[in-house]
Structure 1
Amino acid sequence: MAPHPQAAALLARSHRLGADPRNTNYAGGNTSAKGTDTDPVTGGDVELMWVKGSGGDLGTLTEGGLAVLRLDRLRALTDVYPGVEREDEMVAAFDYCLHGKGGAAPSIDTAMHGLVDAAHVDHLHPDSGIALACAADGEKLTAECFGDTVVWVPWRRPGFQLGLDIAAVKEANPQAIGCVLGGHGITAWGDTAEECERNSLHIIRTAEKFLAEHGKAEPFGPVLEGYAALGAVERRERAAALAPVIRAIASQDRPQVGHFTDSEVVLDFLASAEHPRLAALGTSCPDHFLRTKVRPLVLDLPPTASVEEAITRLKELHAEYREEYAAYYERHALPDSPAMRGADPAIVLVPGVGMFSFGKDKQTARVAGEFYVNAINVMRGAESVSTYAPIEESEKFRIEYWALEEAKLQRMPKPKPLATRVALVTGAGSGIGKAIARRLAAEGACVVVADLNAQGAAAVAEELGGPDKAVAVTVDVTSEEQITEAFKAAALAFGGVDLVVNNAGISISKSLLETSARDWDLQHDIMARGSFLVSREAARVMIQQGLGGDIVYIASKNAVFAGPNNIAYSATKADQAHQVRLLAAELGEHGIRVNGVNPDGVVRGSGIFAGGWGAQRAATYGIEEEKLGEFYAQRTILKREVLPEHVANAVFALTGGELTHTTGLHVPVDAGVAAAFLR
């Protein structure tokens, strides 16, 4: 069924506004439209309001993301409003105003939209508008910028009372097209969707122009000596070196996924003389600090300091940050406040290098970084025409530890088993590796798809969901340099690595007398030496992170089973199998578990078999190549063919959280080959 015309127009307007980051940030702000529809009970007209529900994003809003409420009931809530001290109770009352099933859960801003006497209302968080809202003399600047067409509303926490305040402002100022909400954002209205959108854009663009024309040239002050940005290559190297340690800092309370950006906005801010003062003031708009925490952790060393010095200082600053955050909580917590959620930073700023942001998944981490860029833009605008003056710390706490915010967090779906974990899978561009990458991503992991075939790796990463889910790296596992670069890419994309699958392989089936030294060396270089190199780099990163980890080897039943015409392949698989035992014994003290999977021949979907191995093995057994899978199945106890997905299932079983006390194990995935039973 097509959406109501008003809802359709609202979605189109929301998409246009949300498509431009100058208008609002991701998941920030909300829009509404009022109109009439047929009451299915009485058959008469009923006045309704369609409004963006809790947690949606304007740019990607769908009809299912709209809350639909009856206006008569919503407006009637003013008669039972118990006052600002109990205004949180009104959110539950919104449920009794829903029309039919009501659509999405109404957000805290529902009252603003419903009580303002306008058919269409936009509430947005543009950097330019928040810059005025967070200036020390924001009220005066708003009047200078807009005259009497945009009215100043002093800071008030979002809620029913703010809706009443804005409604009163509109009624008292019939000439006004909107207002600037102190410390927060803007609200605009109109009689038509077009007029409302036009008014929103007028406020945003006028504020931009005002800041550009009246702002001073260096709002952040001069460049600090020695704090200029490093060159692009050096920045990347330093960021990759610091990333695992910084991820450890952000993950002391709970594991986090990371994101790195070295955008010009961030680098310029960190090079300026005023960045320590401004960063310490924290962000202001509730949408900002709910994602970035009240303030970031800022490394107070120039980029000329050594990596070792930076790491030592970051750890010291982290201890101080945790103490200060706990003190902040204690200063403002009430007996009924939610428990402290964690004292680690969500944003870590490194002068000359860039910004590391963290969250429960890659998208959350990336968006947190985007919000801090918004905050930098706000600080620049406010400092250019005045002084940046965010809302009081006590008000930030009231929102961060709001019972309504806590309830929203409790409604979040249970995380998947591999959420917050970063996996690197070698040979993931096809076959078994591709199946493993798919399974790990499906279970919540971020995946680094590593393969010699760049095109294949890129295709798999795209299939898994793109940069917020997976990235592709081109890796020849015989090259130490390429392996190191792959782990650097993982650190920059996701903060580090927690789970590594040594899957890359090749096989050449020949008799002993036909096996050349090159055949032997090639297979040992890729699988035995390659697995060693990958595991060594994985262990280095995992030890730095201090979060434990998993290393899984895709070995083979041939590591145990002795078959004909397979000397080089089987010997290197035996090498891999013993690496599992050796590394399990060595890395256990760091919480790193090392296990293996021993598949039988995987024919369907296998890159190795498609590349000639299948024909060679079929010739060895004197059968047709297309019947090789069936042949392998019939020689097993279960008479079942092994597929790539079955190997992926075993990898997940070893790493998905149930076998927490298992290391040094090899799991057979061979449908039962008695000669390959482990002894």
Structure 2
Amino acid sequence: MNTTVAPPRSAAIPFAVPASRWDDQVAATLSPPELLLYRSNLLGSDLTVTNFGGGNTSAKLPGVDPLTGETVEVLWVKGSGGDIGSMKLDGFATLYQDKLLALAAHYEGPEDDDKMVGYLPHCTFNLNGRAASIDTPLHSLLPFAHVDHVHPDAIIALAASSGGEAATQAIWGDRIGWLPWKRPGYTLGVMLRDYVAANPQVEGVMLAGHGIICWADDAKACYEHTVRLIADAAGYLNDKLAAGPSFGGEVHGALSPEMRAAAAADLMPRLRGLMTGARRKVGHFSDDAEALEFTNSAQFERLAALGTSCPDHFLRTKIAPLTLDPARLADDAYLAQKIDDYRAMYEAYYERCKRPNSPAMRDPNPIVVLVPGIGRMTFAADKTTARLAGEFYGNAINVMRGAEAIGDYIALDEQEAFDIEYWLLEEAKLQRMPAPKPLVGRIALVTGGAGGIGAATAARLMADGACVMLADRDAGSVGEVESGFAKQFGKDVVKSVVCDVTDEAQVAAAVAATAREFGGLDVIVANAGIASSAPIEETTIELWNRNYDVLAQGYFLTARAAWPLLKGMAAQGGTSVVFIGSKNGVAAATNASAYASAKAAANHLARCLALEGAPHGIRVNVVNPDAVIRGSRIWDGDWRKERASAHGIDSGKELEEHYRQRSMLKRDVLPSDIAEAVYFFAGDQSAKSTGNMLNVDAGNAQAFTR
């Protein structure tokens, strides 16, 4: 293992400089609304132009009024909560432009911002159900056909620096204006409208702390104008950054990649176990260049304490990150105190800033955790939110780097930050969100994850919101299963690792990979298995040992490696271990002494672990399948022929019919049936069940538990 410390950086990380990706041949085939979508997708899919979900675009286009048949001007603007990089046409709100302009009669001053939002639905064109964004007035009150408002790092660096206004003048002269900070809303739209009217030469306006807004007469010109402005800002900042390292230079050395990964795998579950609350957290780890440059720097603690600037960043990262001393990470008491201190800080912030009508305080746990030498960890209610929080803090680091290169970084004022975080409109949006699925926040490791039962189990858990690490010794198969699940459930919630459960080091590595990828572990499904059939006289020592290595020792190694992580979640409702056993573990089988006795050993191991785990909230249960033939890799091999031979029948359809008729219910048992039983033991519906065995065998009197 490489344990060296990386050499310090000698230069700052430069800003990426975007270039136009407009394709005239593609654009020529598109309608005006489709051109707006094309422009939006080009902007949003380029992270040098804007971050995920950030920015909004618009076009004022002719439309036929469905009531009068007259042609009217319609504002197409990105709807609330959308992402311009991935949205479709139905992601745009459409509103009568004349009605939007008429709203000015209802506006009496800045105190009316929230009231004005309530009028937007009355301007809806053609019954479009997409809610209009809070930034809609920025587009409707400008007299231009095409408007872009984006938040790229290079632009926010100017907007969040004490030297930003001077830099704007130096880069663009009087072509780009400057407005001081104002929270998004109708008042900002009015300020922008009036500024542009008073300065007709401007081609765009920098909004302090917020981004840039610019315009043009057609879609292509608007897109290329936006990209050119960002490139100008990035080039200017890169010239300033070329002088040397950022943030006062490095004072901490980065650990080697292997050591950073190991440290994250150890630290994240311990932090997660301390973040008690209504729901469990899922974590995300990054040791990218930005995170290491920032956390290892001389100015790290000072700048981290200031928090973020752009509202897009702040809403996803909280008022400030939690920072940890890398020399004290092994001290559990230190970590517990740091989490407690952060919660107390957040509660004090809430009490200082709350309004009479503020919503109740939300989760006070940190979202972003920064550790010199290691990197950035983020925790949220689900994996995608945790990943995006990390990416947004990466954007914030870029902003701080650029802002400090031309002046002093300026974070959001504390009261302004609170008023955005606890904005009643934001609260209403949160209240409209659907209830989370039952297993959101749960993290599972499924061994034998590429097989029929393993894959079905993983799918069942992910269908109700869990994150799953698939572990399997077959690299090709498990990678293929992961790829399919990523398309079905999203790439954030499923990962895979190659693991032979008979190899102690590989099992430990699989558990560590789960902890590093998702932040911890809540559910173990010990499913990796083999099957063999032979009379006792033909059962070799190698065959006997192979069964016990996989079916007994493999389950033992998996449970033992996961045990510390499972114990750490005791305060959050406990955890679950599910062994995939077999009917043969409780009912004797002809010519299967090695297999059946190994399964029996695993079943008894589960009962022992149920005793040992109960004080720590660890439940241990067994699911006993029988004759799961379809979709099973075990039955694709010699086991099928061997069991058919033991019963004196053909190994084809006759074998399936034999097992179906042998069952009391005369039904096939499928991988999905086993998955439902595992799901029961994995979730809260079995919170008071441990040490149990559940047979899923269509009925077999021999296997009745006694």
Deviation (angstroms), 1:103 = 4.2
Deviation (angstroms), 1:451 = 0.4
Is the 1:64–1:103 contact (alpha carbons within 8 Å) kept by the matching residues of 2? no
| Equivalent position SS for 2:76 | strand
Q: Which residue of 1 aligns with 2:305?
A: 280
Matched, 1:136 2:162: yes
What CA distance in whole angstroms lies between the structure 2 residues aligned with 1:158 and 1:395?
11
Q: Which residue of 2 aligns with 1:417?
A: 438
Deviation (angstroms), 1:545 = 4.3
| Equivalent position SS for 2:538 | coil
Q: Say what the alpha-carbon RMSD is for the aligned residues.
A: 1.6
Of 367, 372, 384, the residue aligned with 2:393 is 372
What CA distance in whole angstroms lies between the structure 2 residues aligned with 1:217 and 1:562?
74
Matched, 1:126 2:149: no
Deviation (angstroms), 1:429 = 0.6
- What CA deviation, in whole Å up to 9, does each residue of 1:475-522 have, x standing for no partner? 110111000100111112111111110000101111222212211111
Is the 1:241–1:307 contact (alpha carbons within 8 Å) kept by the matching residues of 2? no
Query: For structure 1, which segment, 362-371 or 83-92, has the greater mean C-alpha deviation from structure 2 after superposition?
Result: 83-92
Gaps of 5+ in 2: 1-28
What CA distance in whole angstroms lies between the structure 2 residues aligned with 1:103 and 1:183?
31
Equivalence map 1:503-518=2 (5 Å)? 503-518=527-542
Is the 1:250–1:358 contact (alpha carbons within 8 Å) kept by the matching residues of 2? no
What CA distance in whole angstroms lies between the structure 2 residues aligned with 1:82 and 1:608?
74
Residue identity matched to 1:339? A
Deviation (angstroms), 1:656 = 2.9
Matched, 1:444 2:465: yes
Equivalence map 1:148-187=2 (5 Å)? 148-187=174-213
What CA distance in whole angstroms lies between the structure 2 residues aligned with 1:112 and 1:645?
52
Is the 1:422–1:496 contact (alpha carbons within 8 Å) kept by the matching residues of 2? yes
Query: For structure 1, which segment, 43-52 or 312-321, has the greater mean C-alpha deviation from structure 2 after superposition?
Result: 312-321
Of 661, 672, 679, the residue aligned with 1:652 is 679
Deviation (angstroms), 1:574 = 1.0
Equivalence map 1:596-615=2 (5 Å)? 596-615=622-641
Equivalence map 1:56-455=2 (5 Å)? 56-215=82-241, 216-224=243-251, 227-252=252-277, 254-301=279-326, 305=327, 307-309=329-331, 311-455=332-476
Is the 2:215–2:222 contact (alpha carbons within 8 Å) kept by the matching residues of 1? yes
Is the 2:548–2:598 contact (alpha carbons within 8 Å) kept by the matching residues of 1? yes
Report the CA distance shift for 1:365/1:327 in structure 2 as closer, same or farther (over 3 A): same
Q: Which residue of 2 aligns with 1:553?
A: 579
Of 26, 30, 33, the residue aligned with 2:59 is 33
What CA distance in whole angstroms lies between the structure 1 residues aligned with 2:567 and 2:321?
25
Is the 1:347–1:369 contact (alpha carbons within 8 Å) kept by the matching residues of 2? yes
Q: Which residue of 2 aligns with 1:464?
A: 485
Deviation (angstroms), 1:471 = 0.8
Residue identity matched to 1:406? E
Deviation (angstroms), 1:252 = 4.4
Is the 2:65–2:126 contact (alpha carbons within 8 Å) kept by the matching residues of 1? no
- What CA deviation, in whole Å up to 9, does each residue of 1:255-308 have, x standing for no partner? 11111010111101111100000000000111101111111001134xxx3641
What CA distance in whole angstroms lies between the structure 2 residues aligned with 1:4 and 1:268?
44
Is the 2:358–2:424 contact (alpha carbons within 8 Å) kept by the matching residues of 1? yes
Is the 2:144–2:216 contact (alpha carbons within 8 Å) kept by the matching residues of 1? yes
Of 522, 525, 537, the residue aligned with 1:498 is 522
What CA distance in whole angstroms lies between the structure 2 residues aligned with 1:464 and 1:222?
43
Gaps of 5+ in 1: none
Query: For structure 1, which segment, 250-259 or 443-452, has the greater mean C-alpha deviation from structure 2 after superposition?
Result: 250-259
Residue identity matched to 1:388? Y
Report the CA distance shift for 1:608/1:660 in structure 2 as closer, same or farther (over 3 A): same
Deviation (angstroms), 1:213 = 2.2
What CA distance in whole angstroms lies between the structure 2 residues aligned with 1:104 and 1:13?
19
Residue identity matched to 1:541? L
Residue identity matched to 2:290? V
> TM-score when scaled to structure 2?
0.93
Deviation (angstroms), 1:145 = 2.2
> TM-score when scaled to structure 1?
0.97
Equivalence map 1:476-495=2 (5 Å)? 476-495=500-519
What CA distance in whole angstroms lies between the structure 1 residues aligned with 2:466 and 2:200?
53
Is the 1:35–1:48 contact (alpha carbons within 8 Å) kept by the matching residues of 2? yes
Is the 1:322–1:343 contact (alpha carbons within 8 Å) kept by the matching residues of 2? yes
Deviation (angstroms), 1:314 = 2.6
What CA distance in whole angstroms lies between the structure 2 residues aligned with 1:24 and 1:296?
22
| Equivalent position SS for 1:342 | coil
Deviation (angstroms), 1:251 = 4.8
What CA distance in whole angstroms lies between the structure 2 residues aligned with 1:353 and 1:564?
55
Is the 2:328–2:334 contact (alpha carbons within 8 Å) kept by the matching residues of 1? no
Is the 2:663–2:700 contact (alpha carbons within 8 Å) kept by the matching residues of 1? yes
Is the 1:249–1:344 contact (alpha carbons within 8 Å) kept by the matching residues of 2? no
Is the 1:220–1:273 contact (alpha carbons within 8 Å) kept by the matching residues of 2? yes
Query: For structure 1, which segment, 373-382 or 5-14, has the greater mean C-alpha deviation from structure 2 after superposition?
Result: 5-14
Deviation (angstroms), 1:402 = 0.6
* Length, aligned pairs only: 672
Is the 1:253–1:344 contact (alpha carbons within 8 Å) kept by the matching residues of 2? no
Q: Which residue of 1 aligns with 2:17?
A: none
- What CA deviation, in whole Å up to 9, does each residue of 1:630-657 have, x standing for no partner? 2111111111010111000111122232
Of 33, 40, 43, the residue aligned with 1:17 is 43
What CA distance in whole angstroms lies between the structure 1 residues aligned with 2:334 and 2:49?
38
Deviation (angstroms), 1:222 = 2.5
Residue identity matched to 1:115? L
Of 676, 692, 695, the residue aligned with 1:665 is 692
| Equivalent position SS for 2:271 | helix
Residue identity matched to 2:494? A
What CA distance in whole angstroms lies between the structure 1 residues aligned with 2:657 and 2:82?
50
| Equivalent position SS for 1:625 | coil
